[in-house]
Structure 1
Amino acid sequence: MHSTEFSKIWHKILKDYKLHMDSKLAPTLTDAQLTVLELLQERDAMKPSDLAPHLATSPAAVTMLLDRMEKHNLIIRERDASDRRIVWVSITETGKNETSRGLKIRSDFFAEALDPISSHNQQLLLYLMGKMAVAPAPAPEGSTP
């Protein structure tokens, strides 16, 4: 079955990516923090609860992540003027600079990984991965559609 072979290759790519990002982003940034900064740069300000689905983690973990980011002046948290229960997270200038640095590091990694593959096959790979990304999740064992 191709799934076992795919799993091994996918795991190696993810491991290589994580090692590369961890070493190149350190000590001021992590890959999860880069994800948060990207989202904030696109949307100006977000509530912490809106970040959790993008990070596939718990609200408590998001709070800890934001604490570290605020300590390093990557983000600021402010209470909503009309509803003090709401907290808005936004990116700082330092955060914007770190986002640019992080995106270049990520881009360089993938450019190097894709370099041995022809332009035509890169397009094919993107097409196939796009198909995988929108494929419906398999139904759990024993369930009926």
Structure 2
Amino acid sequence: MEPYAEGPAPSTAAEDELLDGLSALSRTLVGITARSLGSLDAEVTLPQYRTLVILASRAPLRTVDLASSLGVHPSTATRMCDRLVRRNLVVRRQQPDDRRVAWLALTEGGKLLVGDVMRHRTAEIRRLLKTVSSGRPQTPTDLINALVIAAGEPTEKLWWRHWEESTASP
């Protein structure tokens, strides 16, 4: 019999709480990144920024490899990179021996933007950690939820409650 053929084992209440906390923290970190981009007047979308981050850590990449890393179709990655090339954040280079393949890398401007956003994001996370360290959360789940609340975000259960009511009349 194949392992996992019966599906995943039921989760415990503690695992469910940790999963909820991580989901809320993920939402919080995306918000921090978006605010970091906004504070720098970067005029870069989150998917474009993710592209820059991947290129910062793995470049040079072929378009097909970038698309795979992003989980998108190569034509989507090409269009996104077209925009980033026009903004002088990404450069395309072809090898003299095989001009069919384009290699993508960051420009100095792209590198500086990623570095600035990362530093801004890290400073915000450091601020949140200092805020919650005084209460000394007891478990990883407590720490995660404390970070979410310190960032002014709702916990996962509260978020879903608000989501349910998001189409209600005022």
Structure-2-length-normalised TM-score:
0.57
Provide, for residues 4-39 of structure 1, a one-character-per-residue CA deviation record: whole Å limited to 9, x for no partner: 781763465256335424523543433333333333
Matched, 1:6 2:16: no
SS of aligned partner of 1:29: coil
The correspondence for 1:17, drawn from 32, 39, 46, is 32
RCO greater where, 1 or 2, for CA within 8 Å and sep 6 or more? Answer: 2
Identity of aligned residues (%): 24
User: How large is the RMSD of aligned CA atoms in angstroms?
Assistant: 3.5
1:65 paired residue number: 80
Q: Pick closer, same or farther for the CA change 1:51–1:115 going to 2, 3 Å.
A: farther
Q: Whose Rg is larger?
A: 2
Q: Give 1:98-137 correspondences, 5 Å limit.
A: 98-118=113-133, 124=140
Task: Give the total of aligned pairs.
Answer: 126
Structure-1-length-normalised TM-score:
0.64
1:64 positional shift? 1.7
Extract unaligned runs of 5+ from structure 2: 1-12, 145-170
Q: Pick closer, same or farther for the CA change 1:37–1:27 going to 2, 3 Å.
A: closer
Supply the distance in 2 between the matched residues of 1:117 and 1:54 (Cα, whole angstroms). Answer: 34
